[in-house]
Homo-oligomer: A and B are copies of this chain.
Amino acid sequence: MNTLAEENYLKAIFKLSGKQKASVSTNAIAVELETKASSVTDMIKKLTEKGFVNYQKYNGTSLTKKGHEIAVHIVRKHRLWEVFLVKKLNFQWDEVHDVAEQLEHIKSSKLVEHLDTFLGFPQYDPHGDPIPNKNGEFPKSFSAPLIDLTIGNKGKVVGVSQDNPSFLKYLDKLEIQLGSKIQVIEKVDFDQSIEVKINGKATHISSEVAKNILIKQ
């Protein structure tokens, strides 16, 4: 069995390496996990021993097939628990992440599969993130950050690429939810901020926010 620390490292490497499964720097992992680079080096050596990562001194780390499988499985659990908390226990979408960080480490395959069934095999979590199935396959989704939408075009909010509470609460304040219809009215060259209509109402949004809202046209 893998320890909690090992699982968190694998998840961090998975998150940082993205779809292209790129190699990840020691520092990037340290920042992601709020730890020190020296601690990361130590742990990577252990994960290499276990066959979960490929590692060459001074040259970054990437997941092996085995490491990738573990990471995806933890992501699956994290997102299923988030769905449970919102849909069944009436949590708000900005309250679930930290609890899911704990629940994702519970070890029982029966629990995960029964939870999935109980929830009706959801494909997306409360932040619009795709939930891999039990074979580790993600639903295909075609979304783009709001910032990439051109003037005049419309889209539907299908996700967010951050789940920290202050960002999510701000979206609540702007009345932006999954499913909200957004049209880009104007783009300000100076600071990349944009003027949008949300469900008919005009609002001004910074580029930082627009980068983290995912749109489907």
Q: Which residues of A come within 8 Å of B, CB atoms?
A: 85, 88-91, 95, 98-99, 102-103, 106-108, 110-111, 114-115, 118
B residues within 8 A CB of A107? 102
B residues within 8 A CB of A95? 110
- Copies in the assembly, this chain: 2
B residues within 8 A CB of A89? 111, 114-115, 118
Question: 15 A-B Cβ contacts within 8 A?
Answer: A85-B111, A89-B111, A89-B114, A89-B115, A89-B118, A90-B114, A91-B114, A95-B110, A98-B108, A99-B108, A99-B111, A102-B106, A102-B107, A102-B108, A103-B106
Question: Shortest CB–CB separation between residue A105 and chain B, in angstroms?
Answer: 8
Cα distance, A102 to B108, chains bound together (Å): 10
Known: A99-B106, A99-B110. 14 other contacts (CB 8 A): A85-B111, A88-B118, A89-B111, A89-B114, A89-B115, A89-B118, A90-B114, A91-B110, A91-B114, A98-B108, A99-B111, A102-B107, A103-B106, A106-B106
Question: Shortest CB–CB separation between residue A126 and chain B, in angstroms?
Answer: 15
B residues within 8 A CB of A98? 108
Question: Shortest CB–CB separation between residue A98 and chain B, in angstroms?
Answer: 8
B residues within 8 A CB of A103? 106
